Structure 1
Amino acid sequence: MMDDVDKAIELLYELKTDEAINTANKLKALYVEIVSKNYGLVFEKHTEEIDRLLSENIPVLLEIEERRIINSEVGFNYILQGDNIASLNILLKTHKQQISVIYIDPPYNRGKNDFIYDDKFIGEEDTFRHSKWLSFMYKRLLLAKDLLKDDGVIFISIDDNEFAQLKLLLDSIFGDSNFVGSLPRITKKSGKSTISFSKNHDYVLIYSKSKSNVFVMKEHIDEGFKYTDEHVDKRGPYKLNQTLDYNTLGYVNSLDFPIQIDGRTFYPGSVNEEEFKLRKSENPKDGFRWRWSKDLVKFGIENEWIVVNEKTGRLYTKTYLKCTIKKTGKDYQIDYFSRTKPMSTLELIENKYSNDNARKELDSFKLEDKFEYPKPSSLIKRLLETYYDESAVILDFFAGSGTTGHAVLELNNDDGGNRSFILCTNNQNNICDNITYPRVQKLINDFGSNLRMYDIGFMPVKDKLYLEYADDLIVHMKDLVEFQYGFTSEKLTKYLILLDDESIKGFLDNINSYNHVEKVFIGINVLLSSESKKLILDRGIDLFIVPDYYYSDF
Structure 2
Amino acid sequence: MSGKYDDLSKAQLIELLEKRDRTKKLGLVWERDEIAADQAIDENFIACEIVPELSDKPAPWANMVIEGDNFDALRWLRMTLSGRVKCIYVDPPYNTGNKDWVYNDRYMDKENRFRQSTWLDFLYQRFTLARDLLDENGVMLVSINDEQRALLELMLDEAMPGMKLGCFVWRTRKGGYDSGNFSKDHDFVLAYRKPRFEFHGTEKNRNDYSNPDNDSRGDWTDDPLQQPKTYKQRKNAVYFITDPETGIAYPPNPNRVWSVGQKGDKGLTEKPWEDLLEEGLLVFKKKGQYVQYDSLDELCAAIDDKTAHKFARRDLPNIEDWVGRKIGLGSVRIKKFLKDRDDDEVNPLSSLLDGVTTEDSLSVKVGKTTEGTREVRAVFGESAFEYPKPVSLIRELVRQSAGSGDIVLDFFAGSATTAQAVMELNAEDGIDRRFIMVSSTEATEDEPDKNLCRDVTAERIRLLNARDDPKYDSLAAPFAYLRTREIAFEDLDYDLAPKDAWAALETLHGLPLTIYDGSAAWNAHEGEGVTLVMVDKYDAALLDWLRERSRKNVFVYAWAPGQLARELGDVEVEIRSVRDTLVRGFQQ
RMSD: 4.3
Q: 1:183 aligns with which of 145, 154, 168?
A: 168
- Percent identical residues: 28
Residues of 2 paired with 1:32 and 1:102: CA distance? 28
Is the 8 Å Cα contact of residues 489 and 496 (structure 1) preserved in structure 2? no
SS in 2 for 1:497: strand
Matched, 1:285 2:288: yes
Q: 1:487 aligns with which of 512, 521, 526?
A: 512
- Where structure 2 has 5 or more consecutive residues not aligned to the other structure, the ranges are 1-10, 209-218, 220-241, 247-286, 291-334, 357-364, 443-449, 467-472, 517-523
How far apart are residue 62 of structure 1 and its match?
1.5
Taking structure 1 as reference, are residues 220 and 441 closer, same or farther at Cα in structure 2, changes over 3 Å only? farther
| Residue in structure 2 matched with residue 359 of structure 1 by the alignment | 373
How far apart are residue 124 of structure 1 and its match?
3.3
Matches within 5 A, 1:67-216: 67-70=54-57, 76-114=62-100, 116-117=102-103, 119-120=105-106, 122-175=108-161, 177-191=162-176, 193-209=178-194, 211=195, 213-216=197-200
How far apart are residue 174 of structure 1 and its match?
1.8
| Residue in structure 2 matched with residue 243 of structure 1 by the alignment | none
Residues of 2 paired with 1:191 and 1:30: CA distance? 50
Residues of 2 paired with 1:444 and 1:517: CA distance? 37
TM-score by length of 2: 0.62
Moved more, 380-389 or 115-124: 115-124
| Residue in structure 2 matched with residue 342 of structure 1 by the alignment | 348
* AA partner of residue 494 (structure 2): D
Is the 8 Å Cα contact of residues 48 and 117 (structure 1) preserved in structure 2? no
How far apart are residue 437 of structure 1 and its match?
1.0
Is the 8 Å Cα contact of residues 395 and 423 (structure 1) preserved in structure 2? yes
Residues of 2 paired with 1:391 and 1:78: CA distance? 14
* AA partner of residue 511 (structure 2): G
How far apart are residue 107 of structure 1 and its match?
0.4
* AA partner of residue 550 (structure 1): L
TM-score by length of 1: 0.66
| Residue in structure 2 matched with residue 391 of structure 1 by the alignment | 405
Is the 8 Å Cα contact of residues 141 and 190 (structure 2) preserved in structure 1? yes
Count residues with an aligned counterpart. Answer: 429
Moved more, 125-134 or 46-55: 46-55
Taking structure 1 as reference, are residues 221 and 89 closer, same or farther at Cα in structure 2, changes over 3 Å only? same
SS in 1 for 2:493: helix
| Residue in structure 1 matched with residue 202 of structure 2 by the alignment | 218
Residues of 1 paired with 2:403 and 2:20: CA distance? 33
Higher-Rg structure is 2
Residues of 2 paired with 1:443 and 1:508: CA distance? 44
Taking structure 1 as reference, are residues 191 and 57 closer, same or farther at Cα in structure 2, changes over 3 Å only? same
Task: Judging by fraction of residues, say which structure has more helix.
Answer: 1
SS in 2 for 1:364: helix
* AA partner of residue 340 (structure 1): V
Q: 2:454 aligns with which of 417, 433, 436?
A: 433
Matched, 1:473 2:491: no
Matches within 5 A, 1:437-516: 437-444=458-465, 446=473, 447-461=475-489, 464=490, 469-475=492-498, 476-484=500-508, 485-489=510-514, 493-494=525-526, 495-500=531-536, 502-503=537-538, 505-508=540-543
How far apart are residue 511 of structure 1 and its match?
5.6
Residues of 1 paired with 2:386 and 2:416: CA distance? 13
How far apart are residue 165 of structure 1 and its match?
1.2
SS in 1 for 2:94: coil
How far apart are residue 52 of structure 1 and its match?
8.7
Residues of 2 paired with 1:543 and 1:121: CA distance? 45
How far apart are residue 344 of structure 1 and its match?
0.7
Is the 8 Å Cα contact of residues 115 and 122 (structure 1) preserved in structure 2? no
How far apart are residue 471 of structure 1 and its match?
3.2
Matches within 5 A, 1:263-282: none
| Residue in structure 1 matched with residue 52 of structure 2 by the alignment | 65
Residues of 2 paired with 1:49 and 1:32: CA distance? 13
How far apart are residue 387 of structure 1 and its match?
2.5
Residues of 2 paired with 1:148 and 1:518: CA distance? 24
